[in-house]
């Protein structure tokens, strides 16, 4: 004679009994791995949820439910260690909208390129000595001592020439409406 399948109430009672019997041990195994009580609870609940789904699917009978639950929980804990969510976390969309890229925005890049092009064009209008000293300082990033050595003048003269060249550049840019005073 074929046995009658257990009723939903019988199955629920059996499941609750298994949870009472093995729940703490499954939780403890996950807790030992992560030392996070909430995460351990999530893993334990997921292991029991998979047991329930296994029963609902009518898959083969599990011989040792305790061992099965512990193995599922251990695998879930290891999967969590490998997950991108654990490595990267997540933030609410509102917070992510405020996160700025390290790279400038396309509009900022375009404005910067235009500004540099205008400065280069204005630099070409300056006397060659002004262009030369500004190029050494700002394009080639030499300090005043290096420039003084290259030009065979003292450092104070370099500072004075740089100051005057910057002022002439600023005057021309202001006259062209490129900068405001």
* Secondary structure class of 102 (helix, strand, coil): coil
Convert the pLDDT of each residue in 116-154 to its tens digit. Answer: 888 888 888 889 888 889 888 988 889 999 999 988 999
Convert the pLDDT of each residue in 73-125 to its tens digit. Answer: 999 988 887 775 666 666 666 666 666 777 888 888 898 898 888 888 888 88
Q: Which of 89, 73, 93, 79 is nearest to 26 (CA)?
A: 73
Q: Which of 3-7, 125-129, 174-178 has the highest mean pLDDT?
A: 125-129
CB environment 131-143: b (16+ within 10 A), e (fewer): bbbbebbeeeebe
Q: How buried is residue 112: exposed, middle or buried, by Cβ count under 10 Å (0-12/13-18/19+)?
A: exposed
Domains in the chain, CATH or no CATH each: 8-84 (1.10.1740), 106-175 (1.10.10.10)
What's the confidence (pLDDT) of residue 145?
92
Q: Which of 48, 51, 43 is nearest to 78 (CA)?
A: 43
**Which stretches within 62-105 are classed as H helix?**
65-82, 84-88, 93-97
């Amino acid at each position: 004679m074929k046995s009658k399948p257990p009723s939903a109430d019988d199955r629920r009672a059996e499941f609750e009994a298994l949870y009472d019997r093995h729940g703490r041990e499954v939780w403890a195994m996950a807790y030992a791995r992560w030392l996070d009580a909430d995460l351990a609870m999530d893993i334990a609940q997921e292991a029991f949820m998979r047991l329930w789904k296994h029963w609902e699917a009518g898959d083969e009978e599990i011989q040792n439910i305790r061992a099965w639950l512990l193995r599922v929980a251990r695998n879930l804990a290891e999967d969590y260690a490998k997950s991108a969510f654990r490595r990267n976390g997540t933030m609410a969309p509102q917070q992510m909208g405020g996160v700025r890229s390290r790279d400038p925005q396309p509009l900022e890049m375009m404005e910067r390129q235009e500004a540099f092009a205008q400065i280069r064009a204005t630099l070409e209008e300056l006397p060659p000595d002004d262009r030369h000293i500004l190029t050494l300082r700002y394009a080639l990033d030499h300090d005043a001592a290096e420039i003084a050595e290259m030009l065979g003048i003292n450092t104070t003269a370099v500072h004075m020439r740089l100051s005057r060249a910057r002022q002439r550049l600023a005057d021309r840019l202001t006259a062209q409406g490129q900068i405001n005073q």
